[in-house]
Amino acid sequence: MMSEQLKFIVEQLNKEPFRKNFNLVMFDSLEPMQLLQVFNDVLAEIDPKQSIDIREEMPEQTLKRMTLLLGMLKYKPPDNMADVKTFQQGLVTGSKSVIHPILHWLLQRVPDLKKRAYLARFLVKLEVPAEFLHDDIISDTYSQYEELVESFKMYHKQCEQLRTSGFSTAEIRRDISAMEEEKDQLIKRVERLKKRVESVSSHQRMLEQARQLRVEKEREESLAHQKQQQKNQLFQAEQRVLRSHQQLKDMRQSAADANPESLTRRLEEEIQINSYMVSEKLPKELESLRRTVQYLQKVAAEPAMGQPNIRELEDRIRDVDSQINLLIEKKMLRNDPIDDKLTLYKQQASIISRKKEAKAEELQEAREALATAEREMKQRHSQSSQGEEVVRGDELKRVVAKLRSKGTAYKKRRLELSELKAEYGVLQRTEEILRQKHEAVQEKLQAVEVEKGISGYSSTQEELERVSAIKTELDEKKGRTLDDMSEMVKRLNSSIVEKKSALAPIIKELRSLRQRREIIEMQMQQAAEEMKAYVSSDPQERKKTIRELYMKNIAEQESLGKKLREEQKTVRENHSANMEQMTLWRDLEQLMECKKRCFIKAQNQASVGHVIQDEAKDMLVL
């Protein structure tokens, strides 16, 4: 364990920032003062104030300084050094058994200890005796000192949060520079506006009026907001009052109609309706749903049918149709007047039952609509009680009109239902009478059949009618099935067309993305070849890279720019002399042009005189 400890200490002391170049033998053979100096150098790396030569310091001061720093760093001696005096004595004398564990502990956590030492400079409070704190000046100063310590804690915590939050200093600097530019622009704009305003007479008064205008506008907005809030509160209060009045009105109406006879009649009507719904309508619907489920289960359980099976079923259906047609023809030939009367009554009873079922369905729908309206009303009431926005104005009028129309429709349906109930009672009595008559006729018919020797003819006829009804029902189901299949095929075709039209732009976009991917792959391939050539050791290959070509072009352009700048400098230096020389040459050119014109004129006027030219002058002799 000690060898591992020494090895770790030596490795850390040989690294940055110590660079001691120790080995195990050399470090282990250090003198106590040298070991103490090494220990002090480690402490100096943690706290720069500890950078002191041990030889120039008294042992008592060394002990005090080191123990204070170790206590501030929260170092705990090993368990085998429980005696404080032994620990202090070993620390002053440079004992290996004391220094080596401390060095091992310090070198394991140098960054954390540096941070702790830095914070301790500001967070370790000064010990002020209590008797000194009775002085007002010292007490105030110490209070300010404690406030500054707390402020330092807060700022340091914010700084650490900013360091760990991932903000980039470059981004912050860019933001700061951008905000400074915006600030400069705003300052310039304000200055320009001030200059424009200063030229106007009484601009100070106008600025004061503008300031007052802004204040009044802000106040106006605040008052408008308060006004809107008060309007909302007033509207909510009015709604609550209206609801209370409506509830009071409903309660009064219910109290006015609350005699025992009306309540009993109303309850009897509801009981009759509910008993009809429970005993007749709902069982029929449930039975119909069960038959449908059984039929669907049977269809799902059967194996997939091929074309021969379908042809066989079609043949069977044709045979049953022919048998039914024969039975219908026989029935029509018989044409019994008693059966005709019974058929008329049966038709009337079926019509009444269908009407009854339709009205029951309408009643159920009206009840559901009423329950939905009541739920909406409760929700609106809860919203208004919570202070949320409620319906108002035209929307409220539409809701009230809708509720009134629904109430009128409900009353109308209820009246129709009561009429149907009365008619249903009459029809029930009629049906009972007819059933008795039918039983009497059936008994007579059976007796006649026995006498004639054709017993069972009526039951056979009823069976034929039942088969005919089943055949009609099967035909209807078959027609509905074919219609459903054709409708499903249409829906599938339309769905396919919609999917194709929806996929067309996606496919088009996919093609463009593929083209872009090919371009990117080509660019990546070129970049890979460029990178391969650039990292190649062959100088000829490196010369072919785009980077080398660009660098060469940049160098050429820089040399050309340098040459042009030198020429520009030469031109600027000789500009004045060249301009003077150019002026002289221009004057000389004008002089020569004048001489040329004079010479041509003299040639044309030779009869008047002749020109004598010598080196110094020209003369015209007439």
**Class in CATH terms, 1-124:** mainly alpha
Tell me the HSE value of 277 on the side-chain side, using a 13 A CA sphere: 14
pLDDT at 90 over 60: yes
Q: Give 588 or 422, the one with higher predicted confidence.
A: 588
Taking the C-alpha atoms of residue 73 and residue 66, their distance in angstroms, rounded to an integer, is 10
Token readout for 274 is 């509910």
Q: Give 463 or 46, the one with higher predicted confidence.
A: 46
State the pLDDT at residue 594.
Answer: 92
pLDDT at 614 over 70: no
Backbone torsions φ then ψ of 612, nearest 5 degrees: -110, 120
Mean pLDDT of 147-156: 84
Reduced to 3 states (helix: H, G, I; strand: E, B; else coil), residue 57 is coil
Taking the C-alpha atoms of residue 120 and residue 47, their distance in angstroms, rounded to an integer, is 10
Q: Give 166 or 98, the one with higher predicted confidence.
A: 98
Least confident range from 12-21, 95-104, 157-166, 319-328: namely: 157-166
Q: Give 49 or 259, the one with higher predicted confidence.
A: 49
Q: Could you give the maximum distance between any two Cα atoms of the chain, in Å?
A: 183
State the pLDDT at residue 333.
Answer: 67
Tell me the HSE value of 299 on the side-chain side, using a 13 A CA sphere: 7
**DSSP secondary structure string, 90-137?**
HHHHT-HHHHHHHHHHHHHSHHHHHHHHHHHHHHS-----TTGGGSHH
- Percent of the chain's residues with pLDDT above 90: 4
pLDDT at 414 over 70: yes
Length of the chain equals 622
Backbone torsions φ then ψ of 23, nearest 5 degrees: -120, 175
Q: Which residues pair with 611 in a beta bridge?
A: 620
Between the CA of residue 588 and those of 581, 584, 592, what are the distances in Å? 11, 6, 6
State the pLDDT at residue 483.
Answer: 75
pLDDT at 133 over 80: no
pLDDT digits (tens, 9 = 90+) for 372-398: 877 777 777 666 555 444 555 566 667
pLDDT at 468 over 80: no
Token readout for 97 is 């058994």
Taking the C-alpha atoms of residue 468 and residue 326, their distance in angstroms, rounded to an integer, is 10
Q: What is the DSSP letter of 537?
A: S
State the pLDDT at residue 388.
Answer: 46
Domain parsing of the chain, residue ranges: 1-124, 414-510
**DSSP secondary structure string, 252-300?**
HHHHHT--HHHHHHHHHHHHHHHHHIIIIIHHHHHHHHHHHHHHHHHHH
Question: How does residue 555 score in pLDDT terms, banded at 50, 70 and 90?
Answer: confident
Question: How does residue 493 score in pLDDT terms, banded at 50, 70 and 90?
Answer: confident
Say whether pTM exceeds 0.85: no
Q: Give 337 or 581, the one with higher predicted confidence.
A: 581
- Percent of the chain's residues with pLDDT above 70: 85
pLDDT digits (tens, 9 = 90+) for 295-314: 788 777 776 667 777 788 88
What DSSP element (H or E) covers 615? none
Q: Give 540 or 198, the one with higher predicted confidence.
A: 198
